[in-house]
Structure 1
Amino acid sequence: GVVEMMLDATGNYTKALTEERLFVWHASLFPTGLSGMSIIRVGSWRDDSSGPMQVVSGPVGREKVHYEAPPAGRVPDEIAKFLRWFEQPGDMDPLLIAGLAHLWFVTIHPFDDGNGRIARAIADMALARSEKTGQRFYSMSAQIRREHKGYYDTLEWTQKGELDVTRWQDWFLNCLLRAIEGAQETLGAVLGKARFWERFTHEPLNERQIKVLNRLLDGFEGKLTTTKWAKVAKCSQDTAYRDILDLIGRGALQKDAGGGRSTSYSLIIE
């Protein structure tokens, strides 16, 4: 489904984007020919047999139409124009190509369903082409899903406007920036954990220590005390205290300011 489509889009980014490839992607999203409980046309353009293609929300009888796509009869020609441009976009900045490709495809809305997912795959394909690699640490598709409200608001504003895509491109580029920054933060955390554990390669820890340290590295809520250690590790407080003292001796933990019954401990990250 989505995974196979994304892998093809980014892994085979040098291959041309064609009608046939779009049909294969669409068929992979709906292998049963159903979208929910509705039968849809799979691997072919929509025909508007049940009325114009509209993006709507709200209860029955009080629907709000956010966007109405071009009539089905125009889809083949519109897609042909889009595909010609996508393969030969001229001297436009590659990042702007990715943003415009997403907007253009989802505005045509050529399929009964799955247009947004395919538009995201096309954008990721364009980004892979711009970087000349299918391997990336960030996912624009995932970031758009996380920011779906801003995405739909900006998309609706642009589609109801007068061909000015500035606001859309601004949102798209900032969304891309947030995707990259988020990936860097995640990668930094992963590398930090790796460096932490490297310190104990030749000094094995017991299972309780490994379990609690992992919790701390992943973001432990509140302060670590012997009581919390005992609860997480499912051991006595005496055992918890011995585990903690051992890690203080190894330079993995340090005693926080204060003391008595409220004594707490924190990680030492080098």
Structure 2
Amino acid sequence: MATEGQSEGLVFHPMDQFKIQPLFGDGPIHWYTPTNATLWMGIAILCIIGLFVIGTRGRATIPSRIQSIAELGYGFVHKMVEDVTGKEGLKFFPYVFTLFCFIVFSNFLGLIPGALTTTSHIAVTGILAMAVFLTVTIFGFIKNGAHFLELFWVKSAPLPLRPVLALIEVISYFVRPVSHSIRLAGNMMAGHAVIKVFAAFAPLILMSGIGIAVTPLSILAIVAMYALEILVAFIQAYVFTILTCVYLKDALHPSH
């Protein structure tokens, strides 16, 4: 009876695509075990090296397509950092640029059928967000000392409200790495899961008459969602990066 009940349930599992699996064998996963996440993060790093090191090694006056893409990405992030944090924040450009490149390549690689979207895992985005949080906090105290605490004291508010607002600001500050990481992971996971759900309806044309209507609609939905995910892959990398710049601006100029 249990077997029959299980066979009547869902034959597809949208979340299976996010499973972490060892690359070799089927044993338990330890911190040192090479997994599919290790593989796809490594591929993302190799792609970054290929684009920005190998692709620009000629440094031609008239750039090739690969060099043009690399220069466009470099200029895009450089302008973002300068516009948000000011020229003083350009010292963090290599760090912010590395973050952007890793996230955007990981997001786009996750769109390859059969690939693992590493940025859909809190374990990955959480580390990235915590690194930003610690960088901002440590640099804020090093640069400003105790004046960094002015970030939580809203001088423009009426005096009786300032303690309440300070408590809210402190809570908001420590929630930053949580919201920073969940926003990226949640958006990447949701889109891929929806695509997998629509994909499960595509083979219905081979199984029943209703599939004649359902299958074309599911294929159209998959195409539309895939196009949306291409946009989301870039937007989420941009959002994560620009929020990092905003947080760095707080460390550079903590007073309200």
Tell me the TM-score normalised to structure 2 length: 0.30
Relative contact order (C-alpha < 8 Å, sep 6+): which is higher?
A: 2
Say which one has the larger Rg: 1
TM-score, with structure 1 as normaliser: 0.29
Structure showing the higher strand proportion among its residues: 1
Q: Write 1 or 2 for the structure with the bigger share of helix.
A: 2
